[in-house]
Structure 1
Amino acid sequence: MTMTYTEVAGADGAWTRSLLRVLAAPVEQVRRVLTELALTWPVAAFLPGEAGAPVTEVVLYRDPSRTYGTPTPSACDAAVRRLAAATGWAPEPRQTRNGVLVGLGLCEGYDAAATTHSPHEVADHLLAVSAFGWYCRTARLVSARLVDRAVRWYEETGVIVHAEERLSAAIEAAAFHCAQERYVVTHLTERRTYALQQSSDCGSPP
């Protein structure tokens, strides 16, 4: 039996947007702001930087769900406008980019006590394939969604990878190495977004 990643949810479009702060904000302040936003929009975000470090950038994206669906790009743009109006954070101008944008957690599974990997281990998988065409940086991966009238918050240390499409297999190898059960790909080239989840491939019967 071999393990593989299978697409379990997807949506048209490859929406992502960065908001910048002139002055860094404490992590707790950013958590409060994003929790408030989650009352009206399912938050999926990367906070570039080391765990606990003040936040100067928030990268928002869409996390497709079979249970809850996926917000439309127009709904995402409206969420950015609300966030900017409430905080004064400055949305970056829209950019036409290619390749794939992926966030990978560094903790195996969802157990905080499990083995935690380093950003260098992810970078090594990419470097083994190519010395160029990718960029990897440390970030906190966060999600906040309204479920049963309460915001469900999840956060872990991870990395953001922006890479050429040809390096998708190397990203998948890094995800296996870090024992990630699920991750989301914002495919900027194909203009679609999808979630990949680990599954077993038992092969064909004899």
Structure 2
Amino acid sequence: MPLTAYARTGGSDFSSSLLLVRDPSVTHGTPALADCERAATQLAAGGNWHSQGQMVRSAVLVAIGLREGYNPGARVRTFAEFEQRVLHNLGVWSGMSAELISARRLPDRAVQVYREPGALTFADWEHLPALAAIADDFGQDRFVTHDWLAHRTTAYSRTTRKDA
């Protein structure tokens, strides 16, 4: 199954926690809740991680990458730039820096891993347009929202790409 995790980094290479999420994929679909629970249990069974169960928040979690597009050599925005933009546009925010990680099994059974620095933001739904504008300004091709109360994960993508 496709697996996506947000590694809480706090600006260092050390990760104090992983947040596993359902992430819709055009190629691989969206994993079932039971599959996600099974993956979390297997990860915790390895001995290095402890599961804290499902995270339920009344706000939506928005994950936004800081690299423009997917090219590894592209410009990377700083977490401070993101935080400043959110505070300027919304006046308040709750969030953290994170490493956005996705792993997808390829047809040849190899695993394709993608990583980039990012930001996780807990926000109310009415803040989504401002966050979408920031994602657009930061050159994101897509960003994801997670609504645990509705058991819904949504990937938003550009309808057109900006020319480089």
TM-score (norm 2): 0.87
Residue number among 89, 96, 109 corresponding to 1:149 in the alignment = 109
SS at match of 2:158: strand
Match of 1:137 in 2: 96
Give RMSD over aligned pairs: 2.0
Given the alignment of the two structures, is residue 179 of structure 1 paired with residue 114 of structure 2, yes or no? no
User: Shift of the alpha carbon at 1:51?
Assistant: 6.0
Deviation of 1:158 (Å): 1.1
User: Alpha carbons of 1:111 and 1:195: their partners in 2 closer, same or farther (altered >3 Å)?
Assistant: same
Q: 1:128 to 1:83 in 2, by over 3 A?
A: same
- Separation of aligned partners in 1, 2:157 and 2:76: 19
Displacement after TM superposition at 1:188 (Å): 3.4
One-letter amino acid matched to 1:169: P
For 1:4-83, what aligned pairs fall within 5 Å after superposition? 41-50=1-10, 53-83=13-43
SS of 1:84's equivalent in the other structure is: helix
- How far residue 67 of structure 1 moved from its aligned partner, in angstroms, is 2.1
Ranges of 4+ aligned residues in structure 1 off by more than 6 Å: none
Q: Write the distance in 2 (CA, Å) between the matches of 1:56 and 1:95.
A: 16
Matched, 1:90 2:45: no
Find the aligned partners of 1:168 and 1:82 in 2 and give their Cα distance: 33
User: Deviation at 1:189?
Assistant: 4.7
Q: Which runs of 5+ in 1 are unaligned?
A: 1-40, 201-206
Q: Distance in 1 between matches of 2:70 and 2:62?
A: 18
Is the contact between residue 121 and residue 174 of structure 1 (CA under 8 Å) also seen in structure 2? no
Deviations 1:71-93 (A, max 9, x none): 11111111111111123411114
> Equivalents in 2 of 1:70, 1:87: separation in Å?
27
Q: From 122, 133, 138, give the equivalent of 1:162.
A: 122
Q: 1:62 to 1:94 in 2, by over 3 A?
A: closer
Unaligned runs of 5+ in 2: none
- Give 1:104-123 correspondences, 5 Å limit: 104-123=64-83
Instruction: Specify the alignment match of 1:7 in structure 2.
Output: none
Change over 3 Å in CA distance of 1:170–1:158 after alignment to 2: same
- Indicate yes or no: 2:128 matched with 1:193: no
CA shift for structure 1 position 50: 4.8
- Structure (1 or 2) with the greater strand fraction: 1
Percent same amino acid among aligned pairs? 33
Q: What is the CA–CA distance in structure 2 between the aligned matches of 1:96 and 1:61, rounded to whole Å?
A: 12
> In structure 2, what residue type is equivalent to 1:80?
A
